[in-house]
A and B are shown apart, each in its own frame.
Chain A
Amino acid sequence: MPKLTIEELDKLREKAVAKLRLRESGENRGKVTIHLGTCGIAAGGRQVLTALLVEVEKLGIKDITVTTAGCAGLCSREPMATVELFGQAPVKYVDLTADKIKKILAEHVVNGKTVKDYALAIGSERVG
């Protein structure tokens, strides 16, 4: 590692911040929860999660928490995800694939428009 200048230190900080971002909760704009019950995993939830994480990093999204939760109770429609933008009703998405979650990220999380085609219900319950 060569010795840093102030500019290089700032760049390094930016990179490191992105890595650590998922470690803190609180000041974020919202949260995407992938349901990873046994049913979710069997239906391919892990691939959906991986696709989501890769995309979040690629787009440099910094104010969203990605997390996982257990079975959401509708095993036949897995993989499922819940998108919560704080201050808005949570939206549940069903029958997901890697491509679908990317679209949800771009349209709902980034632009605030619910992707109606994949949504199961809006405001059904609170997932915490």
Chain B
Amino acid sequence: MPYRLNVMLCTGTGCVSNGAFNLLEAFKTEIRKHELHEEVAVIPTGCNGFCAVGPLVVVQPDEIFYQKLRVEDVPFLVQEHFLKGRPVKKFMYTPPETKEPIPIMSNIPFFGKQMLIALRNRGLIDPENIDEYIARDGYKGFTKAITMMTPKQVIDEVKASGLRGRGGGGFPTGLKWEVAFNTQSDEKFIIINCDEGDPGAFMDRSIVESDPHSVIEGVLIGAYALGVKQTYIYVRMEYPLALKRFYIAIEQAKEYGLLGQNILGKGMDLEIEVHRGAGAFICGEETALIRSIQGFAGEAQAKYIYPAQKGLNGKPTIINNVETWANIPQIILRGSNWFASIGTRGKNGDGGSTGTKVFSLVGKVNNTGLVEVPMGITLREIIYDIGGGIKNNKKFKSVQTGGPSGGFLPESLLDLPVDFDELLKAGAMMGSGGMVVVDEDNCMVDMARYFLDFVQSESCGKCIPCREGTKRMLDILERITYGQGTEDDLLKLEELSRLIVESSLCALGGTAPNPVLTTIKYFREEYEAHVKNKKCPAHTCKSLITYTIDSKICIEKGHGCGVCRKNCPQTAITGEIKKEHRIDPTKCDKCGICFDVCKFDAIYVD
């Protein structure tokens, strides 16, 4: 008998860290207690995307969406909804503007503008059950390829789809495959890149956690097209759940004869070997990744010859990103025309960016989480319509796309369509899909410093411009945030940037200055405030701000309440109850606690 209710419980990493596994147990216990276990199934799924309100469940078939569930909520929910059929309003998503709960998932604006291809099965299947993947057209693209298409046709189809690599650079996937196809060799390899080192990014992890078979199926198709027998997936060790689910998926695929020898009785052989990376940003770069698999230190190589011609063990090797692979089955199954009709197209019908892109939307937006949107959607639509706008009614300042290789874009570019070429033209990058929203409380110099600090410590150190150049840039940025910068420093930053971009060995150095260059380009006045006026307009650079108590407000409104004095960890505030209070600037550590605790707005920061 089919279950009348399916409780799709998110067990992506985000929800798991908020107690999803405890919820799973609680649901099972409670459902059994009411003897509903033959009618109601609880299915653990991968990330649903709306991590901001997790842990969450979607009750099917009615698509009722519950958020922020705690174990204590489960008995009431089971009794009311599953037993008595009354969906429970108080656990539903309630937008702050309308205060009216929205019961049905697809009516929630966060999901409204999304379009799922790579994440097509998220929240709908149990990632640890191959049958559920198969039920949703799983392995159908692969069977279509091996029974109805020649390898050349598969490659042509991928080419015609316009798919560009989702790992960062946006290189056309079909073209890459064609190069490897045309290179003569007794052996060829495929590598799945699941290193994902960008700060704040979790797209690849989520795809593997919620739908590992979509990646395996993509690789099967690629292996058929290129005659590959051996593939590797490179996953960082920090992704234990993704690793676990990938291992399970490989085992199940083997059992069904979808991996191993004589696949589906069609004479094709394929193995997937899992490599666990130690979690170094540079190891996501393809040449460093290959070195790492071969057992050497993860250092980049100059790309005189592309891995598609000469990669792992000197043999033609296709490296594609997890999201790229997850798109392949749908392209083969539904056709390149369908895929190419989504997204943007360049002037002569080529170039542009087809299909969808998965972004991890983080920072100062209300609805943080994982979103998949058609290419060409504007930044504004992502941040406001899907992301629900800026947290705490603050003012939007900037959005950073593309991780450390990308850049910061200002409010005036919010209507920019998101597409590989458009972002590049604006000085940013698509990158792998990290999207960090920045509000008025963030200092742009400090943001640039953060990303430079990241690349500086993640540089493999092999080439001097990257190793020493980023260090010098970081020194300058730190000086500026300490209030010791000069106008000359801006020129130096720009000059160093040019030098590093031009002379670095790999793209880590080649793109590292982007966050600095874009912040100087779009937020120059903030740099100038730091170097000329020794002020930090966002009030975050500690050396450049002072906290002062407005004695008039303190006495008249607060009657010298003394709360600031009691809370100051530095004992920098003096004064008596009902009398004027003062901050001793030599003792003040600029922690801002006094500012936060004062109920009368008597403290100002400058």
Contacts and interface: CB of A to CB of B under 8 A. Distances in A.
Nearest to B263: A3
A126 to B, nearest CB: 14
A20 to B, nearest CB: 5
A1 B2 contact: no
Contact of B135 (A16, A56, A68): A16
Contacts of B264: 3-6, 9
Nearest to B43: A23
A91 interface: no
Most buried by A among B63, B84, B264: B84
Interface residues of B, number: 39
B1 A54 contact: yes
A56 B139 CA distance: 27
A88 interface: no
Interface in B1-51: 1-6, 8, 39, 43
Contacts of B585: none
Interface in A1-32: 1-6, 9-10, 12-13, 16-25
A57 interface: yes
A90 interface: no
Interface stretch (A34-42, A104-112, A114-122): A34-42
A9 B134 contact: yes
A50 B4 CA distance: 9
B378 interface: no
A9 B8 contact: no
A69 B86 CA distance: 6
B134 A24 contact: no
A16 B131 contact: yes
Interface string B493-514: 0000000000000000000000
B510 to A, nearest CB: 45
Contacts of B131: 12, 16, 19
A69 B85 contact: yes
A24 B60 contact: yes
B78 interface: no
A87 B125 CA distance: 30
Interface string B387-422: 000000000000000000000000000000000000
Contacts of A123: none
Contacts of A24: 60-61, 124
Most buried by A among B61, B132, B258, B260: B61
B147 interface: yes
A49 interface: yes
B76 interface: no
B267 interface: no
Nearest to B125: A20
A22 B39 CA distance: 11
Contact of B85 (A6, A17, A22, A70): A70
19 contacts: A9-B256, A12-B131, A12-B134, A16-B132, A16-B134, A17-B135, A18-B2, A22-B2, A22-B6, A23-B60, A24-B124, A35-B85, A36-B85, A37-B85, A41-B84, A65-B62, A67-B61, A69-B86, A71-B84
In the A-B complex, the 3 residue pairs with the closest CB atoms: A3-B257, A16-B135, A70-B86
